[in-house]
Each structure stands twice: as C-alpha cells, then as structure tokens.
Structure 1
C-alpha cells in the first residue's frame, strides 16, 4: 500500500541522464539548514510557523503543512483558503498538494467548504493508496477524517465577485491579485526536503477549473537527492511544461537553484507568442540550502527563514 502512494518515478528516463545529483554540490560547503522558503509576502508568517517545527528538530513535512495553514486561515490573503476569490459562480474552490522526502504525496482539487485543504492532502498521502482526490469525493473523504464544513466566502470576496459579475472579463490582468498561491519548501536539519502548495486558484475562474497547484510536477516537486521547486503565476503554463519537475531536473544536471529557475522560465517564455502577457515564477532550493527564484514579470517576491533570521526578497525577472 505504501509503494502505491509513491509518485510515479521516471527512473527509465533518468537512467540515461548524467548522475550529477549527489556530486554536483561542493563537498566542503557547510549546508544552510534547516531552511524554509515560500512564495509572496504572506510567506513570512507562514515561514514563522514552519520555523517553529524546524528549529525544534522537527521534520520538513510537518513544517510545510503547519506553515501554509497560516495563510489558508487568513481571510486577508485572498488567493488562499478562507476568504479566497470565488469562481465565476461565486463558489470558493480550493486546491492543494504536499510531498515529502520519500516522494510520498497527496493532493486535493476542486474542494469546497474545508478551510485547510493542505491538511486534507496530507491525509490523502498518509491514509489512502491514492495521490489525488477531487470534488465531492475529496469533500466526503475530508469529512470522514473529521474535518468540518464551513462557509469560506467572506463578505469582502462576495462583494468583489458581485462587482466583477457586472462586467466579467477574462483573463484578468497580469498580477491583478499581486499576491498569489503560496508554495513552501523546506529542508530540515537531517537534510530531508518537503514541499506544500495551496491556493483558491485564479479569481473568478470558470467553474471546475483546476490549476497547477495540486499537480505534482507542475506546481510542486521534491527529489530528496537534488532539491525542490514550487511555482506561481499562470498555472496552465506550469501544467503544460511540468514546470517544477523541470526545475529539479535542471538542478540534477548541476545547475544552482537560481540557474534552474531562470532556465525553466526561459523555456516557457520561448514557446509563447508574446511572453510579456504572462506571469510565471519559480522558487527552488537544493540539499545544501541554496535558494533561487526567477519570474517573467517583476513583482514576484519570496520569504526566507533560516538561522540568520527572516528575509523578504524580490525575485529576479526577465522583464524589469
């Protein structure tokens, strides 16, 4: 049962690649760990919760789950969890995934009325032979695990939806929300990596739309031999390119997290007729605790927490 929970491995394809993964890092470099990073300004409070776990010797998988639950419960973070922007029909639907150092993972999509989809995703990982549950099935599973239904549509979000409905436009402008999905990556003091990603998705999206955030390999990927990556921006582009898997595979070839994020963004941008119309951003770490981030548009930032303290850093970008 445990083996069936593992994300499908690509051993056949990777066997043909150079085995740089465990030798690409300088052996004499002191690892910066524990470490937690997350996307956007609301990653700061999330990192603090994760850091309480990591700094006391806890596991990365517990840290990322506890960390992203902070913005999930904050109605002022309108792209995650409670208070998130509704879909085109005025319903809040949530997506999330989580992945540990053994490539165990769990995911939920199109989940309604549950404040903490990341906790449900963790239950999918720990308690079922599956990777993903969606819609009514995900909700029924959540209730069977003791989660309670509650209304996630706040008055503020409802009013914004009512205003949008008077003159609906799609797609919304680039970075109209500015603060987006939260993706979190951590490495604990043992050197084990984990990640989590959770969102309410694109504002006023078509009913039933699911983006990259709950998709292992697209919105999140972890390889404990190499590193981990998470994404933000237009989810469809990460889904088409398996973006976070690509970032980790570029690191496998010896690239730093920064180099890998930039290369993955450049690959996506090169396939678009006019990349200036889109936003894609990646955040990555490696086993040593090195961090990198890169986006098409400026404005993407990320939060970092380690033994030296907390930082909010503006990502480098293709467009100034």
Structure 2
C-alpha cells in the first residue's frame, strides 16, 4: 500500500507546475467560450464558491491520489461556509423554517450514493459516500438517512437557523411569497467533477435546496443522472440551478450520453440547455440552470440558460474563475 501511495504521489507531482498554495485566480469576460484545451488532472465546480472548494480538492488529490476523497473534501469546504446560504445547515430553510439537505457522490465505475431531505447532518456529502460504500442502496432519504447517519457515528447538530438565514427567513415570512430570483435563490448547489491523472473520474454534489421550498421538496442534486453523472468510459457532468427543470431532462446523464455519441463537452452542455428550455419554456425567464462537463480526454465545457453562471477550473497550471456562455 505504501509503495502504491508513493507511486501515485510521484505521478501527481509530475503533472503539477505550481507549488501548493500558488493557484492563479482570474475571471474571464462574460460569455467567453472555452478554447478546446485539454487538462489532466482537471477539477471543475460550480459558482464562485467553487474556488476554495477546488483548492481543497486539489490539495487532497495531490496528497493522496484519491479522487473520491478529493471531490468529497472539496465540497465539504462549502458545506461549512457560513457565508454560503445555499449549501449546508447554515443555508436558507424551507417554508417551515427547517434546513434540509441533499447530496450525491459518484465514481466512474458506476458506484454512487446519495441522501435526500436529511436533517441535522453537517456533512451530507460524507453521508452520501457512506451510503455508496457501506450499503447495498444508492439513496437514503429523510428519517431513514438520519438514522443511518447516527449508526455511522455522525453527530446530530442542533436544529436551528444560522443568524443570516434566520434574519432572511423572518423577512420572507412577512409576505411568504415564493418566487426564486435568478442567480440568487436558485443557484442552490455546489457540483464538482474531477478527472484524475490516470483517466478515472469522480463527482460530488451538495445543497440545502431552494430557499423557502415546500417541506419535503427534493431537487436534482441527490438524483443520480440529474444533478450528477460520471462514467469512466466517457466523462462526467454536473448541474446547478432550478432542480425541477434539470430533473425533467435528466440533465447530467443526457450530457454524458451526448458525449458518448461524439459531442464535445461544450456541445453536450449546449444541447442540454436547449432541451431544458424546450421543456420549461413557459417559465424560462425565471429559471437559471447551468451545466459543467469533462470528457475522459480532459476537454471541458460549461453552459447556462442565462448570463451569470460562474464556474471554477483547477488544473496543473493553476486555477481560474470563469463565466459560462449562455443561451438567453
């Protein structure tokens, strides 16, 4: 085992041009398309909060060579970010004032696990990994997921709103109107996909869901094939935005299958957005949804319904915060 770990670290180190902590940060102009570059290893994740998540994922990958641990530990950073109100227990609650969480994780060999509508668990992504590795199931939900967490030794957190979430929830209750604001209340996810130096793939996805959703609502994030899909033979994809619109087209699975048919990651993301718009045309002006994709060669793509979707990209040359191209 020690020889294998040493070999992996040497392999990873040979791909790295920068010292740890020297990630370069920049932001592309709105609507800039990727140039068809290829990177291996490569990590992509959704939104501005993807930058610190990618930093952690890259650190774990360089240290351990374990791609699944990298995508788990990366998004755990976001699950603990008290300034983030769309991921983790500090996120905005449902209409009853209760924060409920969804998460999924997947390997390129088809192994996967997820949890939905789970309460009091600080790191739902770690619980999803336990479902993948310790049970014969793919998804556990609600009270069953909470019971499994207790059995696995997860501490149960006190069920209370974070100060920021409480303040905003009290303001919302004055009128109790439910209308998500594009690029604010409905970019409710961090999705991360990664390609290792050996060509293997993995991904993770975690969220506190839509702000002020109906109690019991589950979005795309824990649904394998909707919010996340990974296949070592082809590539990986993840989604963010209004989950209902993404579920209707099985967005991430669709993108991977389009890549299997020969589309580039960018072309596949664009086609997914076109299909999403067609299935949600009545309310599309109020919907934001975005997709990220990587193929096994290290090409990547990103596309969104509307302007405003940012994503983080980390590779051996550094890290960038980029603006995805968009349809509307």
Contact 2:188 2:208 in 1 (8 A): no
Q: CA deviation at 1:31?
A: 5.6
1:79 match: 86
CA distance in 2, matches of 1:260, 1:298: 18
Q: CA deviation at 1:62?
A: 1.2
CA distance in 2, matches of 1:117, 1:57: 22
- 1:140 to 2:147 alignment: yes
Q: Deviations over 1:203-225 (max 9, x none)?
A: 01010000000000000000110
- 1:121 to 2:128 alignment: yes
Match among 292, 311, 317 for residue 302 of structure 1: 311
Contact 1:41 1:179 in 2 (8 A): no
Q: CA deviation at 1:275?
A: 2.5
- 1:283 to 2:292 alignment: yes
Q: Deviations over 1:135-170 (max 9, x none)?
A: 111001001111001136201101111110111112
CA distance in 1, matches of 2:215, 2:116: 12
Which SS does the other structure have where 1:302 is aligned? Answer: strand
Match among 255, 261, 285 for residue 269 of structure 2: 261
CA distance in 2, matches of 1:30, 1:37: 14
Contact 2:72 2:125 in 1 (8 A): yes
Q: TM-score with structure 1 length normalisation?
A: 0.88
Q: CA deviation at 1:130?
A: 0.4
2:28 match: none
2:50 match: 43
CA distance in 2, matches of 1:154, 1:184: 25
CA distance in 1, matches of 2:179, 2:235: 33
2:97 match: 90
Which SS does the other structure have where 1:32 is aligned? Answer: coil
Contact 2:180 2:286 in 1 (8 A): no
1:55 match: 62
Match among 143, 146, 156 for residue 149 of structure 1: 156
Structure 2 residue runs of 5 or longer lacking an equivalent are 1-35
Which SS does the other structure have where 1:160 is aligned? Answer: helix
Structure 1 residue runs of 5 or longer lacking an equivalent are 1-28
2:31 match: none
1:108 match: 115
Q: CA deviation at 1:274?
A: 4.8
Contact 1:230 1:283 in 2 (8 A): yes
Aligned residues: 291
CA distance in 2, matches of 1:253, 1:217: 17
Which SS does the other structure have where 2:282 is aligned? Answer: coil
CA distance in 2, matches of 1:202, 1:274: 16
Contact 2:40 2:315 in 1 (8 A): yes
Which SS does the other structure have where 1:99 is aligned? Answer: strand
CA distance in 2, matches of 1:134, 1:199: 14
Q: CA deviation at 1:102?
A: 1.0
Contact 1:57 1:189 in 2 (8 A): no
CA distance in 2, matches of 1:30, 1:79: 31
Which SS does the other structure have where 1:140 is aligned? Answer: helix
Q: TM-score with structure 2 length normalisation?
A: 0.86
